[in-house]
Amino acid sequence: MQSAQSPHILVVDDAPEDIRGLIQALRTQPWQVTLATTAQQGYQRAQLLVPDLILLDVRMPGMDGFALCRLLQELPRARETPVLFLTSASSPEERLEGLNHGAVDYILKTCEPAELLARIRIHLRLSRRAALPDPVTDPTPNRDEVVLRAAMRLIGKRLADTFTLEEIAAGVGTYDKRLSAIFRERLGMTVFAWIREERLRRSRELLTETTLGMQEIAENIGFRSACNFTTAFRERLGVTPSQFRKAAKEGAVTEAAHRGR
């Protein structure tokens, strides 16, 4: 009989019959196993059950596993739960995407059951579960807030890339018009207006904290050229990036001089 303290494993896969042997192997262990057959169902059960570990498929209809993983990172009740992708998506690009968006491991469905069990044991042992959030001081955000946070995090990791609104929306499990409405309702601006502001905010950090040249900064934050970056920066802030960097450096020197008195 399973103890009330048995680790709880949530499996999210739209075709569980394809991994029947692996699921049976899980159930031979002293673990509680819950199955969700859609990403949306997985999202809901991750909130309700707060599992100790999530096995997540990548290729699912509607919302894929990468999008679900991004949303889970924004949920106080789920962000500390280790996510292991268990999938047939085997390309190096897919592996890297999964690991770069919060998963702790990436396992192919063709693996031996013994390997899967061993990896789960390792991650359960390594996991240091955070205490559940205080429902008063740290309430669970609603779905729109989760989507907004996930979109902002996704964009922040891809500032140098060119992407469409549809791609961003799909990356966080929604559609373009809904994502636009969330940004307008929550932030009072369009998605691309926020991206522009974020790129310029990041540029100020790079100008202040690094010695990167203008072309390197431009490429790092998604501008086509140093000229385009300089024009956008001056229009928004009223000074050129070089003037901003010089003023920031002089301010730092002045502050250091005052502290040295």
Q: Phi and psi of 242, rounded to 5°?
A: -65, -40
Report the pLDDT value the prediction gives residue 128, as an integer from 0 to 100.
54
Q: Tokens 């205080």 map to which residue?
A: 134
Specify the amino acid at residue 18: D
Given this model, what pLDDT does residue 3 score? 43
Given this model, what pLDDT does residue 130 score?
40
pLDDT at 241: 93
Buried b (16+ CB within 10 A) or exposed e, 4-25: eeebbbbbbbbeeeebeebbeb
CATH class held by domain 190-261: mainly alpha
Confidence of residue 13 (pLDDT cuts 50, 70, 90): very high
Class of the CATH-defined domain 8-126: alpha beta
- Per-residue pLDDT band for 169 (boundaries 50, 70, 90) equals very high
Which tokens is 175 given? 């559609």
Beta bridge partners, 9, equal: 33, 53
Q: Rounded to two decimals, what is the model's pTM?
A: 0.69
Helix (H) or strand (E) run with residue 48 in it: helix 39-49
Q: Find, among 224, 188, 226, the residue nearest to 207 by Cα.
A: 226
